[in-house]
Structure 1
Amino acid sequence: MWIVASDFDRTLSHESDSFVIRNDVVEKINNFCSIYKFFVVTGREERYMRILAPGLRPTGWVLENGALLLLGDRKVVNAPETWFETRKIVGEKLTSHGISHSFGEVIIYVNSWNGSLDLGPGVRIERNRQDTMILPDNVNKGTGLMRAIQEMKLSGKVIAVGDAENDESLFRVAHIKVAVANAIPSIKRIADIVMQKEDGEGVVELLDMILTGHFPENIDVN
């Protein structure tokens, strides 16, 4: 079974569309899910995904950079029980240093911050282009996806699709690594396949390759 796991911003959606996913991409993914499995793996919160992708029906959602999973009618927090007390302390520290931030259901978002700050044990900072996310240690897109696959008792070959730094952890758990054409250079360098098209059109291009069995012959999927 193929299990495709795709980032959202600048991978499934276009910045020129204010990151609202296009209807043809939605239709392709929803049809793909009738045969294979498809996960959206993103740093975004659930409330924003309801606005940006209202018609999308993937196999599952891996949100907040792997910290929150939506699997059918189940919501799974992929973080240690101690995290929320730690998160409160981290938020207070950010406030005391004048660093503007907001809380997701699980993680902390800090926009346009490239500074450094000792946030204490059990805390990790992850950057994605201009954005910064503060998460529990060992929580990322890759561990979130693996938790989702385990929770749903799935098995198969994982194809990861991304464009930026926080997709590297997703690539580490994948059998095949795919970069859309607009991906940053470091992601393209480690990808097995770089699509010819950008954003959602690149993902549609990939899904068509899967459905027709037209993977490049030099890709090892064993």
Structure 2
Amino acid sequence: MKYAVIATDYDGTLATQGTVDGATLAALKRYRQAGGRLLLVTGRQLDELLQVFPHEHLFEGIVAENGAVFYQPAQDTTRLLAEPLSSILIDTLMAQGVGPISQGQIVVATWEPHGETVERTVQELGLAATVIRNKKAVMVLPQGINKASGLAVALAELGLGPEQAVGVGDAENDRSLLAACGLGVAVANAVPELKTLADRVMAGDRGAGVQELVDWLLTES
């Protein structure tokens, strides 16, 4: 098999309104049965993901919080891939009326229209942090942490190289994921800039696009 692993985003890629349908789950199982391996690479916080997705054991690894957390379902082990940001960030944002704010194990997140305020605050505080947009979501992560950095950890754990991976996504925060893989794929509902970056754009939206990708990969094998 030319591509040994699919590294896929969750929301807007595998999932529609937070849920993965049966046909998409069946496609993932077909890929695994053919010898392929699966990684989930998501901006979601891990506990939040596991509440809505009870099929985590289909995946050998889950990169959560946009690259900051690595979870291995089979071993039930979680590894933090960065140090948490200073609590002064949340205190300062709240003082400026930014909300709601959610804090994961590493990521600090809010929503538009607060993106500019968040970027200005990070700069004024002199934090070693990056602001990452994901459609209307605004995430703050330590510098150097993104989906590509988290994917590198997951691939090393599997003993695979990036050239063996297919990255598939739909949003701005998936740019680093696609760029880090041997084949970058956008589903049909992806934002225009991701489609421009992708090596291949599927005809189907969300899960239907992933099903189409699996069928193509198995045919190409």
Q: Secondary structure at the match of 2:87?
A: helix
Q: Hey, what does 2:188 align to over in structure 1?
A: 181
Equivalence map 1:126-141=2 (5 Å): 126-141=132-147
Q: SS at 2:141's partner residue?
A: strand
Task: Give the count of matched residue pairs.
Answer: 207
The letter for the 2-side match of 1:21 is V
Q: TM-score, normalised by structure 2?
A: 0.88
Out of 30-39 and 169-178, give the one that drifted further. Answer: 30-39
CA distance in 1, matches of 2:47, 2:26: 21
Matches within 5 A, 1:73-222: 73=75, 74-79=77-82, 83-84=83-84, 86-100=85-99, 101-112=101-112, 113-115=114-116, 116-119=119-122, 120-155=126-161, 157-213=164-220
Q: Contact 1:126 / 1:132 at 8 angstroms: preserved in 2? A: yes
One-letter amino acid of the counterpart of residue 71, structure 2: L
Following superposition, the deviation at residue 152 of structure 1 comes to 3.3
One-letter amino acid matched to 1:19: G
Distance, in Å, in 2 between the alignment partners of 1:39 and 1:151 is 11
1:165 deviation in Å?
A: 0.4
What letter corresponds to residue 204 of structure 2 in structure 1?
A: K
Secondary structure at the residue paired with 1:133?
strand
Residues 173-200 of structure 1: per-residue CA shift (max 9 Å, x gap):
1111111011111111111111011100
Q: Aligned residue for 2:51?
A: 51
Identify the residue that residue 11 of structure 2 maps to in structure 1: 9
CA contact (8 A) 2:93 2:121 kept: no
Please state whether the residue corresponding to 2:140 is helix, strand or coil.
strand
Any idea what SS the aligned residue of 1:33 has? helix
TM-score where L is the length of structure 1: 0.87
SS of equivalent residue, structure 1 residue 182: coil
The unaligned stretches of length 5 or more in structure 1 are: 215-222
Question: Separation in 2 of the partners of 1:154 and 1:171?
Answer: 16
More helix by share: 2
Structure 2: tracts of 5 or more residues without a match: none
TM-aligned CA deviation for residue 114 of structure 1: 2.4
Residue 66 of structure 2: aligned partner: 65
Q: Which amino acid aligns with 1:204?
A: Q
- Asked if the contact 2:92–2:121 (Cα under 8 Å) also holds between the matched residues in 1, the reply is no
Structure 1 window deviating more from structure 2 (166-175 vs 153-162): it is: 153-162
What's the C-alpha RMSD, in Å, of the aligned pairs?
A: 1.6
